[in-house]
Structures are given as structure tokens and as C-alpha cells.
Chains A and B, each alone.
Chain A
Amino acid sequence: MEKRVTFKGWFLPLLLVLPQAIVSAVFFFYPAGQAVWQSMFIPDPFGLKSQFVGLGNFEYLLGNSYYRASFVTTAIFSTLVTVVSMGVALYLALLADRLIKGSGTYRTLLIWPYAVAPAIAGVLWLFMFNTRVGVVAWYLGVLGYDWNHVLNGTEAMGLVVVASSWGRISYNFLFFLAGLQAIPKSVIEAAAIDGAHFWTRFRTIVWPLLSPTTFFLLVVNIVYAFFETFGVIHTITAGGPQQATTILVYKVFSDGFVGQDLGSSAAQSVILLIVVSALTIVQFKFVERRVHY
């Protein structure tokens, strides 16, 4: 039996998808098209006219050592953010899943960070680690560690990774917990009776059954690390020191809006778009094969 709603003619269906189509067109396709268009021009210093250069912007970028360094930074940064935020979230979800009493309280508390805007989260972490007045920095000093993320690129990277992961843990935690609770209790019990201790059960039963959730979070978190961490980086390090935390999306901003090189910035957006699309396709093609639905 045909369960779908069927329409006669084209008018009504078109009308129904129109709002979504308009939103996508105005906020995605139009700007994306603009970016592609602009990426082929170099504006003059006063922004009065621009000169067509074809793929010149791309050629320049790929030959530019700063830009290539930014690629590496992005790879390190997004891997760390994804691993840290997913790892910690999974650990917390495993603990909360074993709780019988009070799990509601923990859940609520763990969800709060998600409600904090990235820029504000960035400022919070910045205060804690501020080299002069930060609480954490001060305690580290007491312990004999001289914290200075303003000068030390590794520390700066560590700080933005922690700050970016922090808000993300809530989100991942929610999904992991829901995923864990969707695994029937009796399956875990059957494994326990079959002789599997906690880690064996985790490795052979829980992890495979959780894989659709993990896969989904992997895709979403990588996209997050690529784009939405902008606010955190902008408030904490502004890409520094010495571009140590300048990820691709931050470079789009700093070259375009600070450096006023709109052509290069647009070309970078295009490259970013291609990289993220490619990454997502790769994930769906290769990682998804290992997912058990």
C-alpha cells in the first residue's frame, strides 16, 4: 500500500519547499557563489576596483608557507578537540550510565556548559589561565610551572583545545548517554554471564553497538572544530602566538577582515569548503563501513 502522501501537479510541493529553498539560497548558495567569484579577484588597496587573476589566489596560497602551516595547525587542533571532547564525554557517560541514583542531577550539571556561548567560554578560560591574574596560572606557578600561553605556542594550543572541548563535552555526553541507554540491559547481562568483564564488554559489545552514535559525533565534532571554534580562538589567542593557533577558519577571518585581502580570504573559504566536504565524504565512505546499525 502507498503510505506516502502523493501530490497532483507541481505547484503545492514547490510552494512547500520554497521557504527552505529561499533560506538555503540566501544564506548558503549566494554567499558560497560570491566566495567562489571573489576568490578569482584581487582588490586594489583602496577597495575601489578589483583585478581578475583566475586561480592566482589559489596558486599563491598553496605556495605560502604560513597557509600550509595553518593546515597542519588545523589538523592538530581538530584532532585534539574531537578526541578530547569525545573521549571525556564517553567516559562521563559511562559513569553516568552506571549510576542508578542521582543521574538526573549529574546530567543537568553536565549539560550546562553547552548553554555557554563559545566566546564567553573563551573569556572564562582566558581569565583562569591569564598569565598575571589567572587562578590556574597562579597555582601552576606555585607548583613551579611557569604558564605563559601568550608566548608559548604549545601552551596556547593546549588552552584553546581545552576551552573548545569543554563546551562540546556536554553535547557529546548527551548523545553518548542516550546511545548507552539504548543498549538493552539484558545484552550486557548476557555478556557478563558469558564471562566478559567490564573492559571486554566495553570492547566487544558496548563500543560496537555505540558506533552509530560515535560516527555521528565524529562527523559533527570535526565540523565543529573546523568552524565553530572561531569564537574561542578569537577571544583567547587571536590566532597567536606566531600563528600557533591560527586554524584555517581563523585565517580566513584575519586575512580577509584584518588584512583586507578579500580575494585570498575568499579563496581560503573555498578551499575550506572543499576540505570539509572531502573529509565528510571520506568519513561516510570509509568509517561508516565499520558502523553497525
Chain B
Amino acid sequence: MATVTLDNLRKTFGKTEIIHGVDIDITDGEFIVIVGPSGCGKSTLLRMVAGLETVTSGEVRINGARVNEKEPMDRNIAMVFQNYALYPHMSVFDNMAYGLKIAGKPKAEIAARVADAARLLQLEPYLQRKPRELSGGQRQRVAMGRAIVREPDVFLFDEPLSNLDAKLRVQMRLEIRQLQRKLGITALYVTHDQVEAMTLADRMIVMNAGVAEQIGAPMEVYENPATTFVAGFIGSPPMNFLSDSALPALPPTTRLGIRPEHVTLTAPGRGRADATALYSEALGAETLVHLRLGDGEQVTARIGGKTVPPAEGTELGLAWPDDHAMLFGPDGKRIPPG
């Protein structure tokens, strides 16, 4: 049970600043997802909260108290690593009991807490096995178990699902979410997968090159992206951007963003812009149609799976409702409507 505050947090490696000042107030029990492309500083940010990296400037506060100078063991956090970082020479039981043993808890209590966690994570049959005798998904669960037995103030996850196959990833995603809800423990979760971010987060931090471009609830970020980066990163397939060479009505140097699901196909000349169909991808429930505008830029439209997609080379018109179009300035920032 804890609040976490990041106050103008910065990190410099050598002479290069990697994190350029991140601010957020995380309330008790909140699930925060840090999402962004590779190398943007997500892990570094998380590791500063964990105490595994020093803070160059700014402050990390847990429950209102500054923890910058505290060692990882004195912060009452638990972390799940991308490669799980299980202790290879210890059994599953010992892996989970390790932190409790060090804390000097009585044997009976350790056994009870590990048993609880094992039941919760369906690890009971494997307690005596070594990590190398487990599948990837089971190892992942042990790493989770090791985190929850300690009943920490804060959970930290660094891409915990990225080594799993797609199906298991979806399943574990759900389990992590339910577990966190049930235990009510504040969580920070790093991922580069925007679907994970959308489905897990109470609020997400969209990072780009060491800057928190936007912080907000998933749907709010999706519907109201603050920058072209966020608009392009969140949502799959990404938002389309049209410039004034394709849309003469736009103010110069601005760009218009429109999500694929809001683009409708009409006859040539009847829409707001004309385009040529390139190819389409039928995904079952929906079909993605890729088109090329007059100025060479590409646009994607999302149409129903039952609709017959236009053949390659077909001339089409593109239409969209005004309230779904977003205008972005030359600096990439959103220009509020009206």
C-alpha cells in the first residue's frame, strides 16, 4: 500500500542525459504502465525507482518519503525482471522464500506465505523443482511469486512478458492484472508493447527519448494524443498523418491525424482526398486497406472483415468525420480544436 512520486527525475550516464525530467504522482493501488520504443529510458526510469540506478537529480518518494539515497532492500519494493532473474541453484520454494528468510521471518510463516502464493499462481506441483526444470511461463510465475510473497509496497515489472509466446502473453497479462487488483499493490510496469499498455494500465506514461510525452488513462491517451509521437505509437495500425500537400485546406506545416478506423472509402472526388489502393490485409474480423495519396504518403483504412476490399490500383476517395480529425503543429504538438 503506497503512493509513489517522481519529481523532476533526471538521469545522466557520463555526459549524456538519458531521462530529461519525469513527473508523476501515483496513487495507492494504481497500475502505471511505462510504454515507449526501445532505448527511450523506460528501464532506467524503473531502475531508479528500484534503487538499482542512482538518481542524478530530482526525487523519488515512496509514501511521501524521499528514497533517493536508500538501498534497494530498504525501499520495500519487489521487481520482476525480463529474464526473471531466478536463483538458478535454488528450488522454486527457496526462490520464493529467499526474501522472507533474509527478513528473518519464522519458518512456519514463510511456509504459509509461500504456499499461499504457490496456490494463487498454480505453482504447487513445482515447489521442489529447480528453475531450469520449468517452462518459460512457469518461470515467469515463480518470478511473480517471489515478488508477491514479500507483500511489498510497490511492484516493479520490467517487460516481464516479452520472453513468452503470444498466447501465453495474453493469458499472463490477464493474470497479472487480476493479481494486482486483488492485492491492491501499487505497480509500475514497463513494456514496449502498446497493447499491453492499453489493457493493463490505469494510467500510462508514454515515453519518447527520455521525455514523458503524455501521462493519462489509456482511452484518454488514445482519443486525445498530445503529440504526433503518442498518436503514432499508441494504436495499431498507427494513426495516419496527412500534410498540406495532400490536403490543401490545411494550414501550412501542420499535419492532420486520423485513425484508420475513422477513414471511410468512397468514390473518387467524393471524399476529402483521393487515393489509390495499394494492397489489403484481411485479418478476419477486419481488413486493413493500404492506400497511396497523390503526394506519395501512405494511408491505412480499417474496414469490416466482410466488406470486399478494393482491388489494387483502384482510385478511391477518402472521407472522415471532422470530430475525429486531429491537428498537429510543426513541433509535433496537438493544436486544440476550435
Contact = CB atoms under 8 A, between A and B. Distances in A.
Contact of A192 (B71, B87, B103, B146): B71
B73 A194 contact: yes
A186 interface: yes
B329 interface: no
Interface residues of A, number: 18
B126 interface: no
Contacts of A195: 73, 99, 102-103
A191 B86 CA distance: 9
B229 interface: no
A209 B88 contact: yes
A204 B87 CA distance: 10
Contact of B85 (A189, A200, A204, A209): A189
Contacts of A15: none
A117 interface: no
Interface residues of B, number: 23
Give the secondary structure class of B's interface: loop
A187 B88 contact: yes
Interface string A146-158: 0000000000000
Contacts of A190: 79, 81, 85-87, 146
A209 B85 CA distance: 13
Contacts of B77: 193
B107 interface: no
A204 B98 CA distance: 9
Interface in A199-249: 200, 204-205, 208-209
A19 interface: no
Contact of B50 (A187, A193, A200): A193
B79 A187 contact: no
A193 B102 CA distance: 11
Contacts of B146: 190, 194
Interface in A241-293: 292
A197 interface: yes
A189 B87 contact: no
A196 interface: yes
B21 interface: no
A209 B130 CA distance: 14
Contact of B72 (A187, A192, A200): A192
A196 B73 contact: yes
A186 B71 CA distance: 16
Nearest to A207: B89
Interface string B21-62: 000000000000000000000000000001110000000000
A192 B47 CA distance: 12
Interface in B82-113: 82-83, 85-89, 98-99, 102-103
A232 B51 CA distance: 49
Most buried by B among A190, A192, A193, A200: A193
Nearest to A292: B89
B150 interface: yes
A184 interface: yes
A208 B78 CA distance: 23
A184 B89 contact: no
Contacts of B99: 193-195
Contacts of A184: 83, 85
Contacts of A186: 81-83, 85
Contact of B102 (A187, A196, A209): A196
Contacts of A191: 87, 98
Nearest to A190: B85
Interface in B131-174: 146, 150
Contacts of B89: 208-209, 292
Most buried by B among A184, A195, A196: A195
Nearest to A197: B73
A34 to B, nearest CB: 46
B333 to A, nearest CB: 38
Given A194-B146, A195-B99, A209-B88, A189 B72 contact: yes
Interface in A175-192: 184, 186-187, 189-192
Contacts of B51: 193
Nearest to B47: A189
Given A187-B87, A208-B89, A209-B89, A194 B150 contact: yes
A192 B89 CA distance: 17
Contacts of A197: 73
A182 to B, nearest CB: 11
A190 B81 CA distance: 8
Contacts of B87: 187, 190-191, 205
A191 to B, nearest CB: 7
B78 A193 contact: yes
A196 B87 CA distance: 13
26 contacts: A186-B81, A186-B82, A186-B83, A186-B85, A189-B50, A189-B52, A189-B72, A189-B79, A189-B81, A190-B79, A192-B71, A193-B50, A193-B52, A193-B73, A193-B78, A193-B79, A194-B102, A194-B150, A195-B73, A195-B102, A196-B102, A197-B73, A205-B87, A209-B88, A292-B88, A292-B89
Considering the complex of A and B, which 5 residue pairs feature the smallest CB-CB distances, nearest first? A194-B99, A186-B85, A292-B89, A190-B85, A195-B73
Given A191-B87, A193-B99, A197-B73, 4 more contacts: A186-B82, A193-B73, A194-B73, A209-B89
Interface of B: 50-52, 71-73, 77-79, 81-83, 85-89, 98-99, 102-103, 146, 150
Interface of A: 184, 186-187, 189-197, 200, 204-205, 208-209, 292
